[in-house]
Amino acid sequence: MPRYVMVSVCSSVPWPADEQLVDFGGHAIRLVPPRRDQAGELRAYPLAAIEYVAGDSDEALVQVIRRFLSALSWRDQAGIREVDVTYGAPLRTGTRVPGNGTTTAFDAADLPDPPDNRARMALAFYGEGMALIPVHIAYSFLSFFKVLNIRFAKGPDQVAWITAQYAANALPHCAVRLNEIVKTTSDVGAYLYGSGRCAVAHAFSEPLVDPNEIAHQQRLSRDLPIIRALAAVLIRTEWAVAAPRCNAAA
């Protein structure tokens, strides 16, 4: 009996309505649609699986699937949340889950698979940020900021790069929120770094993000499209990854 490594997902990207084999980086990934009961209720998460071949390791195959999911999330600009990872046979089934659409027109064209490991990691953090948007705004913000951290190790360099993007008008679709920010500070980069990245990552001093404070969550929600857009700009310009089909972040 074939053995598989299986990654179940909660996907905002419509999954294929029928099982489909996708070639990604030389690996055949089996996409299994969500399953429904007789009443039409979803009873199992959709999943991506790779069949074991002699010499394969669990870790390597999971990494391939995660790269595929990151690429799919990037291309379609929608979140894909990893639910769990299982191994063995047969293909896993799960419990009732909502919110996963299907389509008969699924295609695997134009999925980026850059050879540079830093680019792959950037796509992974970007995909993580997309998946966290409906789950946890603060952690989503931090995931997008980590894309910048891959390229710029030091805070001052991150701040300078962000401010340069604002000065170059690289984020026209974020103009309304950016104009609000510059009314209170002259340095957009310092604001996003201090009130966003540091405020989420630390809790020992102001500014911070208190989970009990609605105003903090609202502020992060307004700032999230900016850091998402900045992460997308860096992925495209630094690692030459093709722009996504949906240009909401570009």
Burial of 44 (0-12, 13-18, 19+ CB in 10 A): buried
Which pTM was predicted?
A: 0.83
SS (H, E, C) the chain: CCCEEEEEEEECCCEECCCEEEEECCEEEEEECCEECCCCCEEECCEEEEECCCCCCHHHHHHHHHHHHHHHHHHHCCCEEEEEEEEECCCCCCCCCCCCCEECCCCCCCCCCCCCHHHHHHHHHHHHHHHHCCCCHHHHHHHHHHHHHHHCCCHHHHHHHHHHHHHCCCCHHHHHHHHHHHCCCCCHHHHHHHHHHHHHHCCCCCCCCCCCCHHHHHHHHHHHHHHHHHHHHHHHHHHCCCCCCCCCCC
Round to the nearest angstrom and report the end-to-end CA distance of the chain.
Answer: 46
CA–CA separation, 239 and 150 (whole Å)? 11
What is the total residue count of the chain? 250
**pLDDT tens, 91-150?**
666 435 655 678 999 999 999 999 999 999 999 999 999 999 988 999 999 999 999 999
Residue 50's pLDDT is what? 95
CA–CA separation, 194 and 153 (whole Å)? 16
Residue 25's pLDDT is what? 92
Burial of 114 (0-12, 13-18, 19+ CB in 10 A): middle
Residue 126's pLDDT is what? 98
Do the Cβ atoms of 9 and 81 come closer than 8 Å? yes
CA–CA separation, 209 and 185 (whole Å)? 19
Structure tokens at 85: 């990872």
Kindly report the backbone phi and psi dihedral angles of residue 73, in degrees, each rounded to the nearest multiple of 5, phi listed first: -60, -40
Closest by CA to 142, choosing from 84, 243, 220, 69, is: 220
Answer left, alpha or beta for residue 30, where phi above 0 means left and psi between -120 and 50 means alpha.
beta
Which residues, given as ranges, of the chain have pLDDT below 50? Answer: 94-95
Residue 95's pLDDT is what? 39
